Copies of this chain bind each other. A is one copy, B any other.
């Protein structure tokens, strides 16, 4: 509804611009009259009149504000994710929210249409970043870095169809960890999966599985199934839809839209149903067709190595080698993976795929070379945690539990027992702030004591430092514990130490 108004509103503004332009350009009276009629019609639809413009009070479609409570949840999630990245020795970088448009061109395949462009206001043509991977590759090439392990947490932008209740937004956070450099096979790749496992376990959002596959296995499979080379990428995009669509729909897209023979599609259909572990890898290494293809053999050999390392990390039981996993993006060249949250037993199967994906990534050995003037390659592998869905889940959890989340860290409220003590409160709170104590006071000259105590109850502030005429005379402050209503007189010179002692384990 709000969107309808915004769009109507927008149409109104554009029509008004048209009329203005026609007048400036001294168009024929008939032409102006026709456009004015359209304008009046739009105004009637909106129910506005000239003088009173109906203002739309909202955030842009597909975006949201974070309230203090949501921020408190967000900070907890970030702490776990950043803690994991740092535990693995990662540095951190940041890049601008927009890039030169050409930096993003040709990196995202069919998804490029979802990129937000900036208006041409003179100067360079710019687009909002679509992910953090392409800016990372641009950063490596620009600074001639061939070896780095970094994380990057920032918002990215996609003009997709939002589904906000399921955590799909047009502006959303990505938490990326990537390892760039020439290393021995599958060691950094295995660490990326270990990181996903640590983060998802640490967040305690339920059971999960991490699907893995390899673009070389997919390409080998396409080759032996009779897909022409030129159609590898586009057929790959279609396979990627298997998590949301049935095989029949996917096959019909392959044959109908993409022009693949039904026989080739059926051969693909047999492979993409397979998923398993080391046993499946061994089986496919013996597969009479697939084992003849070098790409597939290389991919399967590395997949075997990967499973050995994951077994040493103790996480192989959460990993599923799944031939239907394709990943949408163009730039992957080797292993790819996607972590899926598993629903509790009673959930509908068809929701599983679309609700559950919370992390994904893979190897992209060619992307940096696309930016290097001499095409020098820097092999990379990485993972991106899609935390909006995780936020949604945790927010619902908090709502359901009615757990009270504090949104401030205030340790003490500076309160007055009588009137005319504003100056004394200002002096005391200033001392507390200067000693590093987190303190608040009410912004009233003469607040009632009851209101000050109520403020502590409402905001979870554990202590109140009360001053009155008598306390000032005695050189003490009355320290009240909000939870127990216990009160003690503390000598002014000992107050800071006493507050620190009482709040060191908040």
Chain A interface (Cβ < 8 Å from any Cβ of B): 3, 6-7, 9-10, 13, 55-61, 63-68, 71, 74-75, 86-100, 102, 116-121, 123-126, 128, 138-139, 141-143, 148, 150, 155, 157, 159, 171, 179, 181, 183-184, 187-188, 190-191, 194, 198, 309, 312-314, 371, 373, 407-410, 422-423, 426-427, 430, 433-434, 436-440, 443-445
Contact = CB atoms under 8 A, between A and B. Distances in A.
Copies of this protein in the complex: 2
A92 B76 CA distance: 13
Given A87-B436, A159-B121, A96 B59 contact: yes
A183 B91 contact: no
A184 B446 CA distance: 9
A65 B94 contact: yes
A117 B121 CA distance: 8
Given A97-B157, A191-B443, 7 more contacts: A57-B138, A58-B100, A61-B124, A71-B92, A87-B436, A116-B118, A198-B434
B123 A61 contact: yes
A407 B59 contact: no
A317 B10 CA distance: 52
Instruction: Find the residue from A9, A93, A159, A422 having the highest chain B CB count within 10 A.
Output: A93
Contact of A438 (B59, B87, B142): B87
A75 to B, nearest CB: 8
B90 A408 contact: yes
Contacts of A91: 68, 71, 407-408
Contact of A60 (B88, B126, B313, B422): B126
B124 A60 contact: yes
A57 B102 contact: no
A71 B98 contact: no
A89 B179 contact: no
A150 B407 CA distance: 10
5 closest A-B pairs by CB:
A183-B443, A68-B91, A89-B440, A63-B96, A66-B94
B56 A102 contact: yes
Contacts of A445: 184, 187
8 contacts: A63-B96, A66-B94, A88-B438, A184-B443, A187-B445, A191-B443, A198-B433, A312-B427
A123 B13 CA distance: 12
Contacts of A183: 443-444
A95 B99 CA distance: 21
Contacts of A102: 9, 55-56
A223 to B, nearest CB: 29
A139 B70 CA distance: 14
A75 B89 CA distance: 17
Nearest to A84: B433
Nearest to A127: B119
Given A87-B438, A118-B117, A312 B159 contact: no
Contacts of A443: 179, 181, 183-184, 187-188, 191
Contact of A96 (B3, B139, B171, B438): B171
A294 B138 CA distance: 59
A92 B56 CA distance: 25
Contacts of A309: 426
Contact of A409 (B86, B95, B198): B86
B117 A93 contact: no
Given A89-B438, A142-B58, A427-B312, A64 B10 contact: no
Given A87-B436, A89-B440, A96 B65 contact: yes
A10 B143 CA distance: 23
A141 B65 CA distance: 13
Contacts of A87: 433, 436-439
Contacts of A90: 408
A309 B74 CA distance: 36
Contacts of A59: 95-96, 99-100, 142
A443 B89 CA distance: 13
A444 B407 CA distance: 46
